[in-house]
Each structure stands twice: as C-alpha cells, then as structure tokens.
Amino acid sequence: SPSTALNFQLAQTEHVTAYVYDMRGRRVRTLADGSHPAGRHSIPWNGRDDGGQAVANGVYFMRFQAGETSDTIKLTRID
C-alpha cells in the first residue's frame, strides 16, 4: 500500500500535532497529538483513516504544528 512520511527535527521538546484532512476539510486521520522530545522524527501515513480503512484516491492535506511552527502539505493519493 502507498505511504508517505512527515520528517522533522525539533530543537527542544514540543507538543506536536499532525492531522490529515480531505478536500472538504474533514479530518480523516490523526497522526500525532502529543509531546515529542528534541531530535529527528518521522511520522508515517499509510493512506488509511482513523478507522483503518483505505482512503479514496484524491487530494489530502497534512497539517503539522510543533510549538510556534506550522505547515500544511498537499498530498495526492493514487493507487
């Protein structure tokens, strides 16, 4: 199954959130919501929703926040 990963580095311990949303703004997956220590991290997404079901092909957005830093990454799922 297709997958991707969010790779990031923290200078200090931070609360990290990473969510995947569909084109309608509905949250389909929670990838991270908790404290992460300083260092390098990788958070994978296997193309599945919070219920374990494969999401449909299409465009999704991964919203990432760690402390004061945030970013939104566009993802395209194609089987």
Tell me the per-residue pLDDT of 42-69, one tens digit each, with 9 for 90 and over.
999 999 999 999 999 999 999 999 999 9
Neighbours of 20 (CB within 10 A): 25
For residue 79, the model assigns a pLDDT of 81
Which residue do the tokens 């990432």 mark? Answer: 64
CATH of domain 4-77: 2.60.40.4070
Q: How far apart are CA 21 and CA 28, in angstroms?
A: 5
Q: How far apart are CA 48 and CA 59, in angstroms?
A: 13
Q: How far apart are CA 10 and CA 50, in angstroms?
A: 26
CA torsion sign for 36, 46, 65, 28 is: negative
Tell me the per-residue pLDDT of 14-48, one tens digit each, with 9 for 90 and over.
999 999 999 999 999 999 999 999 999 999 999 99
Q: In terms of pTM, does the model score above 0.85?
A: yes
